[in-house]
Amino acid sequence: MQSQASVRQGYVAGEFMTRTYRISGEVELRGVPVLDQLNDHNALFLSLERMFISPLLDPATLTGNFTHGEVRKDMLGIAVLSQWRDGLPLREGRYVGHDHVDHEVLVVVAGFEVTGAIRLHPSVNVPNFVRTTPEHFIPVFDARVTLTARRNIVFKGGAVLINRSLIEVFAMLKD
């Protein structure tokens, strides 16, 4: 039985980054959190509503807006969500719990440098988890994202969901 807190409804606003675009939009949850939608192996695209597009190198300028849009999930490098709770899956237990600990990490993914915390049970080996989890996207909490090509472009989010298949470098900042 799911706890009441984990059954999310409504919309979650987020920033979805490809190698060339910053796409802002809202994901309709219908009881399925953003992370689970991204990790749904049966769907190649993620549906966004009120979608606005900016070039990644000029990320504050709006170049297009659409009522609905579809983003191909395997082309996404990261998704930035402002609230860390919005980055949790329906089965929250993997990433949240009173006995979980924060492991500070650096992840270079699709031209972004992400620093933040992967929150797991102490018994889980973090590099093993990153190597072997079947999930496409994993959350990094309280994260700061720097665009490698333009280091003055920085994004911050309570949760940054990282496309594991596009990870170039992964490192633990503290053991």
Partner 1 sequence: MSRILIIDDDINLLQMVKLMLERVGHQVEIAKEGAKGLELAAQTQPELAIIDVMMPGLSGYDVVRKLREDPRTAPIPVVILTARSQPMDKEMALEAGANAFLSKPVTAQQLTERVDAVIRAGVRYRVHTGLLTEPIPQAAGEVPGVVTPVPPPLPHPTPPPAAPAARPPGRVPIGVEDQAQPADTLPVRLPVTTVISLRGGTGCTTIAINLALALAAETRRVCIADLSAVGGHVPLYLHLKPQHSWQDLLGQGDSPDPRALGGLLAQHQPSGVAVLAAPPRPADGGLSALAAQHVLRELTGTYNPVVADARQLDPAVRGALQVSSSVVVVMSDDPPSVQTTSQLLVLLGAMGIEMGRIRVVLNHVRPTFDVPADAIQKALKRPISVDVPYEPGQPVAIRRGVPLVSAKPDSAFAHSIQQLARTVVS
| 44 touches partner 1 by CB under 8 A | no
Instruction: Give me the least distance between CB of 155 and partner 1, in Å please.
Output: 5
Output 2 or 65, the one with its CB closest to partner 1.
65
Identity of residue 66:
F
* Contact set for partner 1, span 94-153 (CB under 8 A): 153
Asked if 82 interacts with partner 1 (CB under 8 A), we say yes
Q: Is 9 near partner 1 (CB under 8 A)?
A: no
Instruction: Identify which of residues 13 and 130 has a Cβ nearer to partner 1 in the complex.
Output: 13
Interface residues with partner 1 (CB under 8 A)? Answer: 13, 15, 24, 26, 50, 52, 59-62, 65, 67, 80, 82-83, 153-156
